[in-house]
Structure 1
Amino acid sequence: MEFIIVTGLSGAGKSRAMDALEDIGFFCMDNIPPALVAKVAELCMQSADKFSKVAMVMDTRGGKLFNAFFEGLSELKQHGSYKILFLEAQPEVLERRYKETRRRHPLATDENSSVEQAIETEMQLLSAVRASADYIIDTSYLSPAQLRERITGLFAGDVSQGMLIHVMSFGFKYGSPSEADLVFDVRCLPNPFYIDELRNQTGLNKPVRDYVMQCKETKGFVERLFSMIDYMLPLYINEGKSQLVVAIGCTGGKHRSVTIAELLYQHLLEDGKRVTVNHRDIKKP
């Protein structure tokens, strides 16, 4: 049986993540007290034909009950393996989301507790949980559709099939992705932005790719990037890592980073790796 524990910061998108998991066949349960996780798993296993894939949200809404998080997981392990998905976002993004929705943060327990203080407290409470997570997704700059794509890429297949590599492009001017394990800066490569006919195209268009790749420095970079990734992957796998996020960044996240990310994605795909690709900032102005 496949268990996914969904947790993370309030306002980071756990509800949207559960919607995406439900759409790919998971039986989803929200706000489960950690002490009851093993019991829930036991009941699901009695009808394993109906509940072969189960996702459960456990977070700080349970108050002091959340303190039993790791104890609950220890008991769950007796019923099968599990993976932890941790969702987060930058504090200022979470603050903005709460102001827009006018909802109360679960840790803002009285009138004197601000959203900022509640977010900081929750980040401290969840630091050990984050450190134990198999998958971390920073939703700060992800649209709902992009988050759904990430969730589908992670869990649409069998999570026991080995490490999943997620290649993403991004623009440094929109912020670096905090969940990235490896970040490569390609701002040193020729920039199509300064070519009038290429400015409004992206690295998904052949003229942009050809322009970036015509430079010998780019070819040298790509060769070395492939060699480094190929060397490092077995090391990460030996460490038991479930997910590797490789981020490729340029200034705006539309031209150079997209080109290199697509090349790396194709290289890994041809090598038989479990890999997804996402262009975080390609539609931003």
Structure 2
Amino acid sequence: MSIDSAQSNPHRIVIVTGPSGAGRSTAINALEDLGFEAIDNLPLSLIPRLLDGRPLSRSVALGVDVRNRDFTTKALMQLVDALPAQTNADVSLLYLNAREDVLIRRYSETRRPHPMAPNESLQEGIRRERELLGAIQSRSDIVIETSDMSPHDLRDELTTLFAAQGEAGLSVLLNSFSYKRGVPHGVDMAFDCRFLRNPHWDPALRDLTGQDPRVVSYVMADDRFSAFFEKINDLTDLLLPAFHDEGKSYLTIGLGCTGGKHRSVAVAEMMGKALANKGWQVSIRHRELERRAKPGARDT
């Protein structure tokens, strides 16, 4: 059940687990961006039934944790041992781990009770969960320590491990951002949208985002937009096939503006549709919109 054996198998089944806060959701989303069919929190007893019937049409990522209805350490181990006999796909158990202090910090940000200690301290829940999962970690094919990783770092690590040549191809992430907060880590190329007219100065649009059609229309009405967008498309038409031919499996393109709320978001959304229509595998992240959605975050 190694990554190397995937070279001779058409598809993979990756079971993703680990303590709450170690990055399981990020990993599931990253694998989905790499072309996997992603299914999270499916009861263990239903996984064999999922794989019955016709051979897999693509690789599958399965998120499993202590919240699964029938989760036990023994049941998960038995499932991992039984799957290779049921399918020709390569089966890997991926375990994400992090230090206790990091798990406490990350889980505290969610403001939810820990599944292993709903009426007790967060520390007690984390320790109880780590004890339960300890045997699974030692059995896992791949263990990734995420304590010092950003979500982007984890995505890069998973891309290195699981983006097989000829399977997932080049995955493009479009990341809108605010220049006031700096260019996101790991951006391969960035386009500055601050020269376009700013919807922030229109009271009717100020509270909207670049995902609203009214903001999109406002941005597109700028006389310089059409030429700008055409040149971005021309450049990506040239560079993306070249990056693909060089074996690059993951490319991040940044779109920045002053606040990361209107112009960069609108351009990222339009660019995503254009690239997807050309057959590229595209995901979109709006950094500042995600930040504003977090409890306690302030709109600046």
Q: TM-score range by the shorter chain?
A: 0.5 to 0.7
Q: 1:261 aligned to 254, 264, 268, which one?
A: 268
TM-score (norm: length of structure 2): 0.53
Shift, 1:211, TM fit:
2.1
The one-letter amino acid paired with 2:248 is K
2: CA distance, partners of 1:271 / 1:45: 36
The farther-off stretch of 254-263 and 207-216 is 207-216
Q: 1:15 to 1:224 in 2, by over 3 A?
A: closer
Q: Which residue of 2 aligns with 1:56?
A: 93
Aligned position for 2:224:
217
CA separation in 1, counterparts of 2:214 and 2:96? Answer: 47
Tell me if 1:46 matches 2:88. Answer: no
Q: RMSD of the alignment, in Å? A: 4.6
Q: Distance in 1 between matches of 2:175 and 2:200?
A: 20
Matches of residues 70-109 of structure 1 in structure 2 within 5 Å? 96-97=105-106, 103=123
Which one-letter code corresponds to 2:283 in the other structure? T
- 1:253 deviates by 1.9
- 2: distance between equivalents of 1:99 and 1:217? 45
Unaligned runs of 5+ in 2: 1-10, 33-37, 43-59, 66-78, 115-121, 128-145, 293-298
Partner of 2:247: 240
Deviates more, 1:161-170 or 1:11-20: 11-20
CA separation of 1:172/1:13 partners in 2, compared to 1, >3 Å: closer, same or farther? farther
**Deviation of 1:133 (Å):** 4.7
The question of 1:181 aligning with 2:188 is answered yes
- Are residues 1:194 and 2:201 paired? yes
Q: Which amino acid aligns with 1:26?
A: A
1:26 is paired with a residue whose SS is: strand
**Quick check: 16-25 or 214-223, which moved more?**
16-25
Match of 1:207 in 2: 214
**1:6 Cα deviation from its structure 2 partner:** 6.4
Distance 2:155 2:280 in 1: 26
Which aligned pairs between 1:6-25 and structure 2 lie closer than 5 A?
A: 11-14=21-24, 17=27, 21-23=38-40
| 2:61 corresponding residue in structure 1 | 26
Amino acid at match of 1:134: T
**Structure 1 counterpart of 2:159, from 130, 134, 139:** 134
Identity across the alignment (%): 33
Instruction: Report the counterpart of residue 144 of structure 1 in structure 2.
Output: none
Contact residue 27 and residue 55 of structure 1 kept, 8 A: no
Instruction: Give 1:182's aligned amino acid.
Output: M
* Aligned residue identity for 2:235: M
Unaligned runs of 5+ in 1: 31-39, 63-92, 107-120, 137-153
| Paired residue type of 2:206 | R
Per-residue deviation, 1:260: 0.8
**Count of aligned positions:** 211
- Once residues 254 and 94 of structure 2 are traced to their aligned partners in structure 1, the CA distance between those partners, rounded to angstroms, is 28
For residues 177 and 157 of structure 2, the distance between their equivalents in structure 1, rounded to whole angstroms, comes to: 26
| AA partner of residue 106 (structure 2) | R
Aligned equivalents of 1:240 and 1:224: distance in 2? 25
Per-residue deviation, residues 98-156 of structure 1 (Å, max 9, x unmatched): 666854999xxxxxxxxxxxxxx9649xxx999765269xxxxxxxxxxxxxxxxx99x
For residue 185 of structure 1, report the CA deviation from its aligned partner.
Answer: 2.2
